[in-house]
Amino acid sequence: MLFLWLYMFYSCAGSCAGLTARGSPAPPPTAPPLPPLLPGEPGEESSLEEQRAAPDAGSPISSFFNGSGTKRLPQAIIIGVKKGGTRALLEFLRVHPDVRAVGAEPHFFDRNYERGLAWYRELMPRTLEGQITMEKTPSYFVTKEAPARISSMSRGTKLIVVVRDPVTRAISDYTQTLSKKPDIPTFESLTFKNRTTGLIDTSWSAIQIGIYAKHLENWLLHFPIGQILFVSGERLISDPAGELGRVQDFLGLKRIITDKHFYFNKTKGFPCLKKAEGSSKPHCLGKTKGRTHPDIDQEVVQRLRDFYRPFNMKFYQMTGQDFGWD
């Protein structure tokens, strides 16, 4: 029917053009459409938002020309935590045919909120009916304004937090920074405000992120605990199919991602996909994942374990899960 309609449309267009040429005077020429605003021109934000919002509200014909599906705001967001395993979880989830996710981190609710929801929606992939739109930005979990902003978008948004032993997570965080800035101070010196007294420097982000209970309290002001899924970063490595099963259940998806999708890469030390999304080849996360950690003074490691212990216990109580970090 669609192609028949197009055929009739173009046939009519040709006939009408002929009639105009033979009979009635041609209508006066119309002004050419205005070019899209270039970055930096006045009114850029509102004009771009209007232009970006328009295609998704169009007819089935416009959808046919613009690609299948509709751009929607995400129904689920991986909100944290940094160096917990969020990239692995996202890549694993993208294998599912009913999950469509943004590859890059949008950082909308922490850095780009002023751009507006239309800008945010334009970043999303097109989805068909029944598919879930997702994104992941690990810094949301520690951003004070993020819970209220996401709730304002949709109170029904499902949230996923990938957590990991906070001591190991802090060392991994430091390792990542060290790879970019080799001249930074040692992990030991950054850990303490005063090493003699043993006072931990909670203003250092690598330490502060791991106080999960504190950050979770902020989220529970806006979302019920049942709307947040806590994924174990350790089990995501030891039993990826098991953790993915929980995630698929939480998202209301059929359990399609199973053991058959994974193999363990001994060199990297974590599971990889036998077949990535849209590919028939095996896929492992890049070289920025699975870095070798520097040797840290075991006394400092123990001091950190003692520091985190009460916060971990509270986090276990709040979530109803014992992650076994102690």
Provide the annotated binding site for 3'-phosphoadenylyl sulfate: 83-87, 164, 172, 289-293
Long-range contacts of 266-272, Cβ-Cβ distance < 8 Å, separation of 24 or more: 269/237, 270/88, 270/237, 271/88, 271/237, 271/240
Distance between CA atoms of residues 301 and 304, nearest Å:
5
User: Can you count the helices (H) and strands (E) in the chain?
Assistant: 13, 11
Residue 109 near residue 140 (C-beta atoms within 8 A): yes
Q: First and final CA of the chain: distance in angstroms?
A: 65
Selection from 209, 211, 205, 169 nearest residue 190 by Cα: 205
Q: Are strands 199-200 and 132-136 parallel, antiparallel or unpaired?
A: unpaired
Residue tagged 């949301």 (tokens): 140
Selection from 146, 160, 153, 191 nearest residue 297 by Cα: 191
Distance between CA atoms of residues 100 and 127, nearest Å:
7
Both tokens of residue 314?
């509270």
Catalytic (active site) residue 83 = yes
Q: Which helix (H) or strand (E) holds 80?
A: strand 76-80
Q: Are strands 158-163 and 99-101 parallel, antiparallel or unpaired?
A: unpaired
Distance between CA atoms of residues 159 and 223, nearest Å:
9
Which candidate in 82, 83, 136, 158 is catalytic? 83
The one-letter amino acid at 148: A
Give me the active site residues, please.
83
